[in-house]
Amino acid sequence: MSAAKTPRAKRTIGQLIKRLLLLDLFKGLMVTFKYNARALYEPRDGGNPNQAIYTEQYPLEPARVSERFRGAPRLNLDPENGSTLCIACDLCALACPVDCIEVGSIRREVREGEKVNKKKVLTTFTFDTSRCMFCNLCVEACPTDCLELTQSFELAVYHRAGFRWDREMLEKGINYVRYAK
């Protein structure tokens, strides 16, 4: 059996030059230099993966959340007359798997044009954010698009009572402390 030498894998001229001039090292250097240069002139847009700087300066600028993010609840108002859209049907409370919603209502006569109808009217609406798991089932149950989970996520409070949001908080939203730059 002849000891035929298997030819060593031959390098092309290009590969040889690449090795001699350490081109891979310089390629790496160019990548970091490009990032450095772009960071100096590009307008900053925190959280945008196409920008050279990804950092969001969160308390100074609003944080980006995903479009389908579910955060703080809100009771929407009728944009025409400012009255609540809630018809006190209690469907959200029934849909809630952790029972964190309590809807309080009374039946009373409501004048609508010329007629006077007896209707269920919303009095209180309590939403316990400490028990809520933001599953969105209540929002899907709502027939009037009144209840909604917004993109706001700053729900931390100093004591447990703060987790119980009443109707006013749900309609107006909570006041956040905004740190100016």
Nearest distance, CB of residue 156 and another protein, angstroms: 21
Stretch that binds another protein, among 23-31, 71-79, 109-117, 124-132 (CB under 8 A): 23-31
3-state secondary structure 33-59: HHHHHHHHHCCCCCCCCCCCCCCCCCC
- The binding track of 54-83 with respect to another protein, each residue x by CB under 8 A or -, is xx-x--------------------------
Stretch that binds another protein, among 31-39, 121-129, 141-149, 167-175 (CB under 8 A): 31-39
Nearest distance, CB of residue 125 and another protein, angstroms: 40
Which residue from 12, 13, 14, 32 is in contact with another protein, where contact means CB under 8 A?
32
Burial of 81 (0-12, 13-18, 19+ CB in 10 A): exposed
- Is position 6 an interface residue for another protein (rule: CB under 8 A)? yes
Q: Strand ranges (DSSP E) for 55-181?
A: 73-75, 101-112, 115-128, 147-149, 164-165
Q: Tokens 């969105």 correspond to what residue?
A: 136
Closer residue to another protein in complex, CB, 11/172: 11
Angstrom distance (rounded) from CA 152 to CA 72: 5
Closer residue to another protein in complex, CB, 45/171: 45
Q: Binding to another protein (CB under 8 A): which residues in 39-58? A: 39-40, 44, 52-55, 57
Angstrom distance (rounded) from CA 84 to CA 75: 8
Q: Return the SS3 of 103.
A: strand
CA end-to-end distance (rounded Å), the chain: 81
Q: Give the residues lining the site for another protein (CB under 8 A).
A: 1, 3, 5-6, 8-9, 20, 25, 28-29, 31-33, 35-36, 39-40, 44, 52-55, 57
